[in-house]
A and B are shown apart, each in its own frame.
Chain A
């Protein structure tokens, strides 16, 4: 790992100022993506700004009809939170499938979203539930926020502070793991919201998380896995690598979609 200067701001404003003042500075919270990348010398930020000493950045609460999760909430906290378990059990389930127990004790929801790894789990939930990503500057819809592989709308001095998930009527996340890395080869999140159904896929898209509108339209008419019979996802635009071809991933999306709808309907 190359040398860097370590900063420990007490407020989000101080953290943003440090980002503005120091070009190429990076935020660190759990560090479970950034540190491995720095150890491999694939990244060498001259400044690290540690968010873990900022108060009030990590809570979990219900506000109105939304579940609000602070940016530095750990995966383990989301997975075991009684509030999440009550409001959006599918989200708690998703968090419990990230990494391993030790990783879940450190990794944060804000870090995962800001990194926008195409095989990360959280982007599928944020996209399908239509969550709002709140930063120190503005509120972003998932369609604006996610901009392709490891790319987001975040500006250099912009910091995610919380994520607001509208509470869905029914939801489920199904993850098909790569057997070696345990990341999602394909992960699908379905959400039956008061007015519509949204369906998002992680792990498969060459450009990161995406929605499947054909599934959404069919499921909006009838929220049953049979509604998906005969509707196929095209392999075009999907990842193809040694772990699976684009055609295989397309097939998996269809299979997992049905399982997700069944799970959301309580038919496991």
Chain B
């Protein structure tokens, strides 16, 4: 077993884990943060995207021990319980950016990372290119793209990053 200490959604967490524990397993099974999903489990679909030190990564292809000493943010960390949604979440709701919803947490975490890197004015082409690593099996891309463009703009006028 390996002892790890990390910050998850602003809270310090310490645990003993088997080194082969994936970050997504640790989040879901140890911390019960089940908003992060496992889709393909082969780093292709992006349902498991979380932020590690502020950057989007696939938590199915990261060991929990590799997050030791780092900061993790999951979909649950975007807005506080009971508080208004994060602007990107709100934009997905407004624009019907989800159908079954399975890919949504990963889509939103990828979208927020994209805004952090490329700003608030995102063109269609940029968004589609940046969604290379996120798959929606409902094929709801049209509204996902609309949602991300709207969410990116809304984030400019929000306190939530």
Contact = CB atoms under 8 A, between A and B. Distances in A.
Contacts of A28: 63, 66
Nearest to B70: A52
The 9 A-B residue pairs whose C-beta atoms are closest, nearest first, are: A100-B133, A6-B19, A100-B132, A105-B55, A1-B20, A102-B56, A102-B58, A35-B61, A102-B133
Given A6-B65, A52-B66, A102 B41 contact: no
Contacts of A32: 43, 61
Given A48-B19, A101-B110, A102-B110, A31 B62 contact: yes
B130 interface: yes
Contacts of A101: 56, 110, 113-114, 117, 130, 132-133
Interface residues of B, number: 28
B46 interface: yes
Contact of A106 (B18, B46, B61, B114): B61
A102 B114 CA distance: 10
Given A35-B63, A106-B61, A100 B20 contact: no
A45 to B, nearest CB: 11
Nearest to B20: A1
Nearest to B48: A102
A150 interface: no
Nearest to B134: A100
Interface string A25-61: 0001001100110110000000010101000000000
Interface of A: 1-6, 8, 28, 31-32, 35-36, 38-39, 48, 50, 52, 76, 99-103, 105-106, 182
Contact of A100 (B2, B18, B46, B66): B46
Interface in B104-161: 110, 113-114, 117, 130, 132-134
B66 A50 contact: yes
B42 interface: yes
A74 to B, nearest CB: 9
A129 B57 CA distance: 30
Contacts of A52: 66
B114 A36 contact: no
Contacts of B55: 76, 105
Nearest to B69: A53
B5 to A, nearest CB: 13
B49 interface: yes
A100 B135 CA distance: 12
